[in-house]
Structure 1
Amino acid sequence: MLYPKEKYLESEEFPFAAFPYPTLPERVMNPHTHDFIELVYVADGFGEHLYKGHSYPISKGDIFVIPPDVEHDYRVIGTAPLKVYNILFISSFLEAELQALSKVSSFMNFFYVEPFLRQKADFESHLKLSLPEAQEVQLRLERIIEEFDHKALGYRISIKALLIELLVWLSRCYEERLVQTWFRPEHSGIRELCAFLELHYAEPFQLEEICQMCGMSKTSFTHKFKQTIGKTFTEYRNEVRIQASLKWLRETDEPVIRVAERVGVGDVSYYNKLFKQQIGMPPREFRHKYRSGNPRAAAPY
């Protein structure tokens, strides 16, 4: 299905739209393309992004760009809505500004490279915001949406200025991910650790080993990790492990205890507890409801 710009953008003279969009668990799946650019920020919830025939996990803090003519859609994981912010526009909307920004490599990398590569070697091409960055980007998006909703005098000029400022700010965030000699190396190390955990979530690393990997004391590490990521190391690793287990539940017949072991949780009771906390239902119910080949799985969750 094609979502045309004539239906979703304000007008031919001002080809732009901005709004928050809660994707509900009951929403019928609708893979689609569009003839405009879509900037998406995930403000809350868990889900999967279906992009070019592949499925990628998304959660709070993910921000990415979907170019025109690419089929995609979302699934909600759990019982809570997946809350996203959408900014829609066509390239000519900021033609001169985009041409200037295209000379900045970090902008080009963020703006045109598929961001969900955290399971591959070049995982850094996605943009996962830290807690302070997520708070900042949400404030910026809400200002843009407020201007678009109220349409006060000069709102079009204001929206363009705010959008350009947002894109420049995001390109700087992306560039910081690429700079190895950052002024706050401990924060860079923690982000690299998170990417490492997304690849090696099943490994039984102890907290002391992790602290050594980052070159920090346990006290310093726990403080910096919570400050940078917005949750404790254990909370983050448990979230990654539960997200990784969804694929095994949907696509295999392996017992839940074996799935738990595959993602690094040796105690199946603890795994069941974590799963229900994050997803809102036990793993067996999730498997029955959403496993591959189940007709009910055609609806996003």
Structure 2
Amino acid sequence: MIIYAKEHYLESEAFPFAVLPFLTLPTRALRPHSHDFIELVYVADGNGEHLYKGRSFPISKGDFFVIPPGIEHDYRVIGDSPLDVYNVMFLPSLLIAELKTLASVNSFIDFFYLEPFLRQNVDFSSHLKLSPVEGYAVKQRIERLHQEFTSKSLGYQISIKALLIEMLVYLSRCYESRFIEPVFHSNESKAIQQLCEFLAQNYEQPISLDHVCRMCGMSQTTFTSKFKQETGRTFTEYRNELRIHASLKPLRETEDNIVAISENVGIHDLSHYHKLFKHYMKMTPRQYRMRCRE
């Protein structure tokens, strides 16, 4: 599998963003690949298949979807006409504060994080199909992003961030109008299991307790009791443990500073990260790093 690295596609480490119109021809050979950045995909014209983690999804004009980092995917054209696609690529670090704010909006969480996760489930068939009016509005926004990105006029980075946030809010509203209550399995135990799988992929996101209760279709009282029964931990304890364990690899294998590692796993208070780390690992992050390198 080919891995597309951010260094080859995004503008820079300081501004990890790019937008790329891409025409997939019917004669193009398959090139399954993944990337280490988020990719927003809008199908402007044509028909084809999106090959996503070993499954095939039909795509056509008006489709818009999110591809998280590390997911193997590719496109196959159906028919004689090319597949006209726009790719908007960025790292979450580009919009740390904005994404944290948007995490309080249920429809944004559903579209940006939950939908890509549910797409892996054979029972889940919905995706965001934009109407002609919505598609026109989104295409205009992407073309403005592309114009700013290619011209690099004064203040283009600020303009791009504003346009990107505006587009994400608009898409969240479009998604909300179609899928008001996307939830996990109706069986409570299976819903908790699906949630744990979701958290394993999205532990760093600031998703609230209220939101996960809604995702599971339970009241907060029922969810709290059922989650503790199924996992032996509270929701917060479970996510904290995921975050701490996710920080171990970069501590062992990189020279990243501890502040950056803490933020990358979703803990933005360094003293809180140290406290949690010592609770789970019985040593400080620095002691752990030093011990692994002895």
TM-score of the pair, normalised by structure 2: 0.58
Which string of whole-angstrom CA distances, capped at 9 and with x for unpartnered residues, describes residues 10-46 of structure 1?
1111100002110111112110110000000000000
Retained in 1: the 8 A contact 2:32–2:74? yes
Secondary structure of the 1:28 match is coil
- For 1:232, the equivalent position in structure 2 comes to none
Q: Percent identity?
A: 62
CA displacement at 1:121 relative to structure 2:
5.2
Structure 2 gap segments, 5+ residues each? 182-294
One-letter amino acid of the structure 1 residue matched with residue 142 of structure 2: L
1:115 positional shift: 8.3
1: CA distance between counterparts of 2:64 and 2:167?
12
For residue 29 of structure 2, give the secondary structure of its aligned residue in structure 1. coil
The one-letter code of the counterpart of 1:123 is: S
- Match for residue 18 of structure 2? 17
Match of 1:5 in 2: 6
Residue 153 (structure 1) aligned with residue 144 (structure 2) = no
Match of 1:28 in 2: 29
Q: Is the 8 A contact 1:37 1:88 kept in 2?
A: yes
TM alignment of 1:50-65, pairs within 5 A: 50-65=51-66
- What is the distance in 2 between the residues matched to 1:120 and 1:131? 28
- Paired letter, 2:84: K
How far off its partner does 1:165 sit?
A: 0.3
Distance 1:115 1:99, change over 3 A: same
Q: How does 1:90-169 map to 2 (within 5 A)?
A: 90-112=91-113, 113-114=115-116, 122-124=124-126, 126-169=127-170
Q: What's the RMSD between the two structures over aligned residues?
A: 1.9
2:244 aligned residue: none
Please say if residues 51 and 73 of structure 1, whose CA atoms lie closer than 8 Å, have aligned partners that are also in contact: yes
- Report if aligned partners of 1:2, 1:33 keep a CA contact under 8 Å in 2: yes
Contact 1:48 1:57 in 2 (8 A): yes
* 1:139-169 Cα shifts (integer Å, max 9, x gaps): 1110110100111110000000000000001
Aligned equivalent of 1:84: 85
Structure 2: distance between partners of 1:30 and 1:59? 19
Tell me by how many angstroms 1:179 deviates: 4.5
- CA–CA separation in structure 1 for the residues paired with 2:41 and 2:174: 16
Q: Distance in 2 between matches of 1:109 and 1:142?
A: 25
CA shift for structure 1 position 79 = 1.2
For residues 192-219 of structure 1, the C-alpha deviation after alignment (integer angstroms, 9 at most, x for no partner) is: xxxxxxxxxxxxxxxxxxxxxxxxxxxx
Aligned length: 179
CA distance in 1, matches of 2:118, 2:136: 21
Structure 1, gaps ≥5 residues long: 181-301
AA partner of residue 85 (structure 1): Y
Which structure ranks higher in relative contact order (CA pairs < 8 Å, sequence separation ≥ 6)?
Answer: 1
Is the 1:20–1:85 Cα contact (8 Å) retained in structure 2? yes
SS of the aligned residue for 1:142 comes to helix
Amino acid at match of 2:125: F
Give the secondary-structure state (helix, strand or coil) at the position aligned to 2:81.
coil
Between the aligned partners of 2:21 and 2:172, the Cα distance in structure 1 is 22
Misfit runs of 4+, over 6 Å: none
Letter aligned with residue 116 of structure 2: E
1:87 aligns to what SS in structure 2?
Answer: strand
Q: In the alignment, is the contact (CA less than 8 A) between 1:5 and 1:34 conserved in 2?
A: yes
* Aligned-partner residue type, residue 130 of structure 1: S
Q: Structure 1 residue 78: deviation in Å?
A: 1.1
